[in-house]
């Protein structure tokens, strides 16, 4: 009986198929990763990510040209880097995760 059961399980195991699936790429969520698309960035006050979306609150420029900015970013998985996302496109149409929309769209 045990041999019949083992043979049956062997046939069943041999008949199964395996499908490969790609895992989603994890977007790096750090101040340095999010600030990489921007030049003349002096400091990061706040940032946050949800999946492939993020916001960044930072200070750019020096002296009289210094200004605080809030940017919305999207992670481009094809090149593995964060890219600026136009707030006028994504904030006005509620296309962002709630957390990113709240912090990235409701400031300067």
Q: Which of 17-21, 24-28, 94-98, 101-105 has the lowest mean pLDDT?
A: 17-21
Residue 20 lies in a domain: no
d(CA 69, CA 77): 25
Residue 61 lies in a domain: yes
Per the structure, the count of domains in the chain is 1
Residue 4 lies in a domain: no
Q: What is the per-residue pLDDT for 2?
A: 52
Residue 87 lies in a domain: yes
pLDDT single digits (tens) 20-52: 545 556 899 999 999 999 888 999 999 999 999
Coil, helix or strand at residue 9: helix
pLDDT single digits (tens) 69-79: 999 999 999 99
Q: Residue 85: which domain range? A: 26-102
Q: Which residue has the tokens 């919305």?
A: 72
- Tokens standing for residue 70: 């809030």
Q: What is the per-residue pLDDT for 11?
A: 46
Residue 81 lies in a domain: yes
pLDDT of 8 strictly over 50: no
Residue 18 lies in a domain: no
Residue 65 lies in a domain: yes
Residue 107 lies in a domain: no
The burial class, CB within 10 Å (0-12 / 13-18 / 19+), for 64 is exposed
d(CA 43, CA 60): 7
pTM, whole model, 2 decimals? 0.73
């Amino acid at each position: 009986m045990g041999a019949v059961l083992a043979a049956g399980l062997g046939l069943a195991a041999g008949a199964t198929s395996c499908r490969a699936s790609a895992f989603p790429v994890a977007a790096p969520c750090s101040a340095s990763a999010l600030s990489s698309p921007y030049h003349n960035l002096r400091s990061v006050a706040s940032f946050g990510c949800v999946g492939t979306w993020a916001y960044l609150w930072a200070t750019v420029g020096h002296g009289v040209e210094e200004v605080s900015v809030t940017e919305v970013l999207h992670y481009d998985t094809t090149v593995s880097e964060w890219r600026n996302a136009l707030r006028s496109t994504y904030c006005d149409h509620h296309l962002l995760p709630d957390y990113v929309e709240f912090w990235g769209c409701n400031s300067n």
